[in-house]
Amino acid sequence: MQLTDHCDTERKSHHPEHVKKDMVNRLNRVEGQIRGIKGMIEKDVYCDDIITQLSATQSALNSVAKILLEGHLKGCVVDRLNDGDDVVLDELLVTMQKLMRK
């Protein structure tokens, strides 16, 4: 999900450095979890244990999505609405539908 800084012609996010660092750290942990799951599969680890790890990984990804969504709502969406750009609401609905499919 990209966030809009509509002052530019290109879409960009504008998160504070500490938020970006937190998300990168979370994604690094997810990356490690994925490598661990691959190793579990290669070692024929019991299916239920792998499913538990997959669930934990999905939860970690969802936490990053929540952080992004919060920043998007409080920043991009509010800014664009204040500028009279109601299209952002349609975009937000599509994004929410994507998140709810999981």
Structure confidence by residue, pLDDT tens digits, 11-66: 777 789 999 999 999 999 999 999 999 999 999 999 999 999 999 999 999 999 99
Query: Does 7 fall in a domain?
Result: no
In a domain, 57, yes or no: yes
In a domain, 22, yes or no: yes
Length of the chain: 102
CATH of residue 34's domain is 1.20.58.1000
Residue 11 lies in a domain: no
How many domains would you assign to the chain? 1
In a domain, 2, yes or no: no
Domain that holds residue 66: 17-100
Helical axes 47-71 vs 87-100, angle rounded to 10°:
170
**pTM score > 0.95 for this model?**
no
Q: At what angle do helices 47-71 and 17-42 cross, to 10 degrees?
A: 160
